[in-house]
Structure 1
Amino acid sequence: MGTLFLIRHAQASFGAADYDVLSDTGHEQSRALGRALARQGVRPEALFTGAQRRHRETLEGILDGMGAPPRAAQVHPGLNEFDFKALLDARFRGGTPPDNLHGDRKTHFRTLRDTVLAWQRDEVPNPPETWAEFTARIEDARRAMARDGGDVLAISSGGAIGQMLAAALGAPPEQQIRLQLQMKNCAVNRFVHSPRSFYLHGFNETPHIDASNTNAFLTYS
């Protein structure tokens, strides 16, 4: 049996022209998490990331914090986030989206929740990918990471992680977005796995956060 450490990327750049870049806080979070994982004795045999820049930058920071040399990760599209901007655009195509949809956090995430629930019911016309396509690629990533049964460290995004958690728990689709919206930046989710089994062992852990740095490091977007 091995352990999959499935980590949400560090804080990206919400509201900026390019979201897919870690903020200064995000770089600090990733290095701090690396130091915490090193203290726990985590030594992954394999590394996986999605294809997004924030995934790669988070892994680089974690390895730096662990005092480990840079290593190439296997890039798997199943660990990519769904295209939330394109999904929101598809929902409101021909209509009027809420004011400041991509700038105000509360408005954005409330609208995203309702849009994902509609997407799951196939009520969003011409989405960037169907819900069935999204869940299938997440499952493909899970199988790839569990194939050899060793310890794996992977960087992904909240939506993909939420779906892998929901699937592992046998939860209905609507739980995916509820799990996603709880996911902290740089949170660690642990699964015990082998080629024939896959169990949730830890949820939304932040071993790099304590009372001295909560205000700086506890972020959700």
Structure 2
Amino acid sequence: MGQILLVRHGQASFGSANYDQLSELGYEQARLLGQWYANSYQPFSKVVTGGMVRHCQTADTCMAELPKPLLADTEWITDADFAEFDHHEVLLRHCPEYADAAAFKALLANHVDPSRALEHLFRAAMQRWMSGWHDSDYAEPWPDFRRRCVRALERLDTEDRGQSTIVFTSGGVIATLMQHLLGLQDYQVMELNWTLANCAVTKLLQRPGQFTLSYLNNYSHLEWLGQQGSVTYR
């Protein structure tokens, strides 16, 4: 049977003007994942990215650690259906103050624990997006996002039982695909998304017309090879 490895991108530049860039630690996480696969001499038939900068940076950095013979016949593909939902828009529709970065930071700074306050705010924004009551407010409503994630996975269905595909994507996509495979409720997608570690791997086994979860959110490579603090979630 084939296997599909869904990789959440390395730590991005949260809190900066451009989130869609890996942080220094994000690059290190990607290198550690690549070293893990190099040590196990893992070949890949196909490398897929969602097309976002952080996806491509994670893929390039990870794959650079593998011996070149492992990648000699590897096909590289960009599939925008593996891109993350627009978290800026989701947050903005719930909290219009987010449009003014300075005002938004000042709003959070008034809280005892700004990080915790942001988490609560984002959860509420996600609930609004997923509720179905405000679909017309969003360029991509929740049902549309869910459909394109499933569509992207189904494109990886192949008759080649020995194929290994690695997909560099985002937490929202991975959590949504878990809903599709495991029958999760919408609120469980939101909760799962919040627990996926940067550069963690979710493995699917693939037979023609069937995908089965093998493991979820594995970051052993970061714990084994990395320094203290290598495991992050934002």
TM-score using structure 1 length: 0.90
Q: Distance in 2 between matches of 1:16 and 1:94?
A: 17
- The 1:15–1:43 alpha-carbon spacing in structure 2 relative to 1, beyond 3 Å, is same
- The 1:212–1:197 alpha-carbon spacing in structure 2 relative to 1, beyond 3 Å, is closer
Q: Provide the residue aligned with 1:119 in structure 2.
A: 129
**Do the aligned residues in 2 keep the contact of 1:31 with 1:66 (CA within 8 Å)?**
no
1:108 to 90, 97, 118: 118
1:166 to 179, 192, 201: 179
2:209 to 175, 183, 196: 196
1:206 to partner: Cα distance? 1.1
Determine which structure has the larger helix proportion and give its number.
Answer: 2
Structure 2 gaps of 5+ residues are none
- Secondary structure of the corresponding residue to residue 108 of structure 2: coil
Structure 1 gaps of 5+ residues are none
**Do the aligned residues in 1 keep the contact of 2:93 with 2:125 (CA within 8 Å)?**
no
Q: Distance in 2 between matches of 1:171 and 1:66?
A: 35
1:34 to 2:34 alignment:
yes
1:135 to 2:143 alignment:
no
Q: Provide the residue aligned with 2:91 in structure 1.
A: 88
Range with bigger deviation, 86-95 or 37-46: 86-95
- Secondary structure of the corresponding residue to residue 215 of structure 1: coil
1:53 to partner: Cα distance? 0.3
1:64 to partner: Cα distance? 1.2
- Secondary structure of the corresponding residue to residue 92 of structure 2: helix
User: Number of paired residues?
Assistant: 220
Q: Distance in 2 between matches of 1:4 and 1:52?
A: 19
**Do the aligned residues in 2 keep the contact of 1:30 with 1:65 (CA within 8 Å)?**
no
**Aligned residue type for 2:44:** P
Q: Distance in 1 between matches of 2:97 and 2:38?
A: 51
**Do the aligned residues in 1 keep the contact of 2:223 with 2:230 (CA within 8 Å)?**
no
**Do the aligned residues in 2 keep the contact of 1:135 with 1:163 (CA within 8 Å)?**
yes
1:65 to 2:68 alignment:
no
Range with bigger deviation, 29-38 or 144-153: 144-153
Q: Provide the residue aligned with 1:17 in structure 2.
A: 17
1:72 to partner: Cα distance? 6.0
TM-score using structure 2 length: 0.85
1:94 to partner: Cα distance? 8.5
Q: Provide the residue aligned with 2:80 in structure 1.
A: 77
**What is the Cα-based RMSD across aligned positions, in Å?**
2.5
Instruction: Give the structure with higher Rg (CA).
Output: 2
- Secondary structure of the corresponding residue to residue 153 of structure 1: strand
Q: Distance in 1 between matches of 2:37 and 2:97?
A: 47
**Aligned residue type for 1:163:** T
* Identity %, equivalent residues: 26
1:49 to partner: Cα distance? 0.6
